[in-house]
Structures are given as structure tokens and as C-alpha cells.
Amino acid sequence: MRAFRVTESGTAPALVEIARPEPGPGEILVRVAACGLNFADLLMIEGSYQDTPPLPFTLGMEVAGVVEALGPGVTEPAVGARVAGFAGHGGLAEFCVIEAGRAVALPDAMGMEAAAGFVVAYGTSHLALAHRARLRAGERLLVLGAAGGVGLTAVELGSAMGAEVIAVARGEEKLAVAKAAGARHLIDSGAGDLRGALKALGGVDVVYDAVGGEGFDAALRATRPEGRILCIGFASGTVPQIPANLLLVKNVTVMGVYWGGYLRFAPEVVTGSLAEVMGWQAEGRIRPHVSAVYPLEEAGAALALLRARKSTGKVVIRL
């Protein structure tokens, strides 16, 4: 089969021919129809992601497709079922093996490309907002990087949960996408003085930060007493150094959210969260936003788009 693969550290991934994998105990083999790209794929290429697999490996964390075969001991999902699932890696290939428990059935009306960009982004945001921050209706939610793959889902889910959403992104085009997803207040991250803009709005209760850097510092100082700050990632490349004295005097909580970690120590939290948010999708309460679709042959260009931060929502590879 064809696979987009990292063969050596520090070298660009390439499309190569490798043997088709076979599902082991507790696993299923999926004929991949689409694969969603994530910022973590870029980190894996660099070898800096916390779950980078040993070389050589195939990129692609999340897939949508049709169940091709079942491994020993697996009875469901059935062969032929349409599913989406989290593979961790291996999704940028014609076939991918994933754990059966990480696959979710797709609603009939949900297309493969939308499904491929659903699991990680919506899973991360729903778990962060509902399970970790316990976001309540009427609270003010700040989303940094609001037009990105996970950020846009945080805007959409926060709005669906009744929060007053402030979206921070760079440029009118990205802010327009965030507004369409439910943001009530829009702030251009390139305009300067984010802290002042947030203070002028009266501060925030919950911060969703997938960017890090200066935005985190401004958000911390604009967070209201008993506010919660969710550390999702550090797309800026700068990991914030948190002054503990501010947490003390402001009565603020900073919490990390690594969605993939829950698959190891509390998988039932992930499956319950995904079931709820997939139900919202079936009801039409949320609408996945895919801004670009590339064929497998152009996966390198798709990753370059992600690296340049020129995309909104998800970038998906179609097989």
C-alpha cells in the first residue's frame, strides 16, 4: 500500500510503498477514506512530540473510513461499518490499524472528510471545556488561536454550551470564520495590547489556549477570580512560564489538557465525550469546518499549509 512516511530524523516525509498492516488482538483494519492533519504531525516530523513513534513511521493521527477486517477477539464494529478513529500515527496510508475501542460509528449524513477532522479537534475541545474546565452557560470564554483546527471547535462548542465567546485570531478572514462559528467578540491578535482589549470587555472566566507565548501572559492577567486556564498546546513555539504568585493572588487555576493521555488512564472519559459531541453533530448543533482537502500525493503541501498557519479549521487528506 502507499503511505506517507518519515524514514529518517530531520528529513522530509515521503510517499512510499510498504506492506499492508494486519490487525492484532483488539484491533481493526480500516480502509482509509480520509485523514485529518494536526499540528502534532509537524512535531512528529521534528521528533519533538511527546508520543513520536520510533523511526520509520507513517504520519496521520486520525482517520475516517470503512472497516476492512477485525483482529482476534474483536466483534464490533462490523466489517463494512463506516467509522472514524484515533490511530496516533499511521493514518496517512491506504490502510490503517487502530484499536477497536477508539473507533466511533459515523452518522449516515456525515461525510468522510468532515469525520476525518472531527475526532481530535472536537474531542480535545469538548473534553477540555466540559470535563476539565466545567464551562457553564453565561461564562465568558476566551479562545486563543480561534481559527485553527482545535481553536475553531472550542469557539463552536463554547457557543453551543451557552458561553459568551471571545475569539482571538490574526486577520479579518480568520476572525470572520470564528464569528460564523459563534464568537460574540473578535480580537485581531496582530493589533497589539491583547490584555487591554480583554480588560475592556470585563475579563474572562475560562481561557482555551493552543498557542502559548505572549497571548497566555495577557490572558492570565485578564482572567477573573476563580477563572480556569486550559493549556492545550504551544503553536507559537513558546511554552509559558507561569508566575505562581499570580495564581495565588487571583485565585486562578491553570490546567493541562492532553487528550491522548486520557486514552491511557481514563478512556471512558474520551468515549463518553465523543459520543456526546457526535450526537450534537447528528442534531445539527455543530458543523465541522474543513478549509482544505488534498490528495495523498500532495500531503507535503498540506503540511506546509498547516505549518504556515494559512488554514482555518481542519486540513484533510483524501485517499
Does one domain contain both 17 and 109?
yes
User: What band does 51 get if pLDDT is binned at 50, 70 and 90?
Assistant: confident
CA 238 remoteness from chain centre: 19
Percent above pLDDT 70 for the chain: 100
pLDDT in tens, 252-289: 999 999 998 998 899 899 989 998 998 898 888 998 88
Residue 152 lies in a domain: yes
User: What band does 108 get if pLDDT is binned at 50, 70 and 90?
Assistant: confident
- SS3 of residue 134 by DSSP: coil
- Residue type, position 163, single letter: A
pTM of the predicted structure, to 2 decimals: 0.89
pLDDT in tens, 165-220: 999 999 999 999 999 999 999 999 988 899 999 999 999 999 999 999 999 999 99
Residue 272 lies in a domain: no
Q: Domain containing 27 — which CATH number?
A: 3.90.180.10
Does one domain contain both 136 and 179?
yes
pLDDT in tens, 244-256: 999 999 999 999 9
Distances from the Cα of 276 to the Cα of 104, 123, 248, 286, 308, angstroms: 11, 10, 35, 12, 33
CA 145 remoteness from chain centre: 12
Percent above pLDDT 90 for the chain: 83
Does one domain contain both 130 and 251?
yes
Count the domains in the chain: 2
Residue 298's pLDDT is 97
Helices marked H in the chain — which ranges? 39-46, 112-116, 119-126, 149-160, 172-180, 194-200, 214-222, 244-250, 259-265, 267-283, 299-307
Q: Domain containing 177 — which CATH number?
A: 3.40.50.720
Instruction: Look over the chain and give the mean of its residue pLDDT values, rounded to a whole number.
Output: 94
Q: What is the residue whose three cell numbers read 507561569?
A: 242
Does one domain contain both 105 and 133?
no
Does one domain contain both 112 and 126?
no
Range of the domain at 294: 2-118+288-318
Residue 232 lies in a domain: yes
User: What band does 292 get if pLDDT is binned at 50, 70 and 90?
Assistant: very high
User: What band does 35 get if pLDDT is binned at 50, 70 and 90?
Assistant: very high
